[in-house]
A and B are shown apart, each in its own frame.
Chain A
């Protein structure tokens, strides 16, 4: 697997207006400007309009609009530092957990604004789960307890129901066969790849609508990576999946739609191109996308 380490485009390389072409800038009718690569009539899980995010005074992403198809895998690709992770962390309001973090724009989850006043991030996160870059099982909990960690937020307290749901989640995460004999073992005693699938199980156990995956395989070896990629295809039948990856092959393998982000002259990530995965990899419209996916970038 190639790890592309590309330096960001400098302003002199590309004119800025061109950079913003696809995103439509801060159009008053941004709802129409949001790219919709999916066929007409496809249900939409999330739609983001003109989303910008800051860490203190540093702008990490700028004016990104996208509509995310339901029950599909959408990949965000782009070189390191282009704001992919920041962007998806806006979807479940995890971005604001960072110190001095700020978000602007609108994100609609099934039509409801997740940033509307009075909306509790905890409520949003029950519907939009997240798997992190490094596996982060809770070290004091067993495998079962890890998976069951979020169930109490759903009011699931019945022992039998908990163990049913845990089993189902572990099966969905393709981990059940490997851990069924030692469910009482601490979650951190598992291998890295198993830990990440444990975190996936933990996330889907609470039955979110959307699962965000922030470079879920970047800390894993190729075998574990393949397992998780297989898993993702299956999960898409039940969940809307958004995956951040800096690995283009991975995006090509697992996703239905792919968005390419790039850091612009202002240091913030912008959306360059967002189309179906088949299109973007075979027939990129934007020169920079083509350069990136063919490895001729920069």
Chain B
């Protein structure tokens, strides 16, 4: 075929090309539209959080415990502290298991056993949080005869493990094989290679995973309804029922009092704020490494 003929050939496909290009433009428009569609509701949520939440913030809001229902005023100190304790304890329980699990999958997961564990983790990730709450209710609360913050943490930890484990595995697998091989070539044993070479390389990704897990469980109320229950009063005793922010938002949102609604917005603002601050802090600490990940 000569160049002349080929040019004619391109000419022949001009109509096809126009259609292809037009479709390309349509899809580009669809993508841009999707961004707008996605951002609008989410921007609205932030807007209303600020608009309805800020009026409810006050010194009392952070330092007082709730009044008896129907008496305006009071605060949610018990819920803020309770959330911190319950979530913190859940991280302590869940993160080591999750990371160990992720390492197991990435290192030994290329066989049937690994496929089975991966499958279970996937199942676990899909388990509704409310059933996890009922599970712990049956396992811990019903057996002990009382609700407790510890039971709540256990439920949250179960939610945390699959999220963090999966992301850990994925991040470890993203580490270039050549890095491992270089380490093996130097005679390093497997555990050393993983701990010294693979994990540090994947660390930003793993931290992102833990953050994702944290932000997911910090806002969970469903598994706490039947485990940590809630508490009108301030407590730091993990064997006792303990209040948490999401659970109190749930109660106040459905309640009849306007000041409850105001406090629910304020608590939501605080909860979202805390989550934002944590992620910003992580980003500030590991910022350069997080952005290295393409």
Contact = CB atoms under 8 A, between A and B. Distances in A.
B6 A207 contact: yes
A279 interface: no
B21 A120 contact: yes
Given A110-B7, A123-B10, A207 B1 contact: yes
Contact of A209 (B6, B13, B21): B6
A70 to B, nearest CB: 7
22 contacts: A43-B3, A45-B3, A70-B3, A110-B7, A120-B17, A120-B21, A122-B20, A122-B21, A123-B17, A126-B10, A127-B6, A127-B10, A153-B13, A153-B20, A154-B9, A154-B13, A155-B12, A155-B13, A207-B1, A207-B6, A209-B6, A238-B1
B32 interface: no
Contacts of A120: 17, 21
Contacts of A45: 3
A153 B12 CA distance: 12
Nearest to A120: B21
B282 to A, nearest CB: 26
Interface string A36-50: 000000010100000
Contacts of B3: 43, 45, 70, 110, 209
B3 to A, nearest CB: 5
Contacts of B7: 110
A207 B10 contact: no
A71 to B, nearest CB: 9
A37 to B, nearest CB: 20
Task: Give chain A's interface residue range (CB within 8 Å of chain B).
Answer: 10 to 19
A45 B7 CA distance: 12
A210 B27 CA distance: 30
A43 B16 CA distance: 30
Interface string B1-26: 10100110110110011001100000
A135 B3 CA distance: 28
B9 A207 contact: yes
Contacts of B1: 207, 238
A209 B1 CA distance: 9
Contacts of B9: 154, 207
B16 A155 contact: yes
A122 B25 CA distance: 14
Nearest to A208: B6
Interface in A109-124: 110, 120, 122-123
B27 to A, nearest CB: 14
A174 B289 CA distance: 46
A123 B20 CA distance: 11
Contacts of B21: 120, 122
A122 B24 CA distance: 11
Interface string A124-159: 001100000000000000000000000001110000
Contacts of A154: 9, 13, 16
Contacts of A126: 10
A92 to B, nearest CB: 14
Interface in B188-219: none
A153 B13 CA distance: 8
Interface string A206-227: 0101000000000000000000
B72 to A, nearest CB: 56
10 A-B pairs with the lowest CB-CB distances in the bound complex, closest first: A155-B16, A155-B13, A110-B3, A209-B6, A209-B3, A154-B13, A126-B10, A207-B6, A207-B1, A127-B10
Nearest to B21: A120
Given A110-B7, A123-B17, 6 more contacts: A110-B3, A153-B20, A155-B12, A207-B1, A209-B6, A238-B1
A120 B1 CA distance: 24
Nearest to B24: A122
Contacts of B10: 123, 126-127
A155 B12 CA distance: 9
A294 to B, nearest CB: 34
B6 to A, nearest CB: 6
Nearest to A126: B10
B175 to A, nearest CB: 19
B4 to A, nearest CB: 9
A70 B21 CA distance: 30
Contacts of B20: 122, 153
Nearest to B6: A209
Contacts of A43: 3
A127 B5 CA distance: 12
Nearest to B14: A123
Nearest to A110: B3
A116 to B, nearest CB: 15
B73 to A, nearest CB: 56
Nearest to A210: B3
Interface string A196-213: 000000000001010000
Nearest to A153: B20
A82 to B, nearest CB: 25
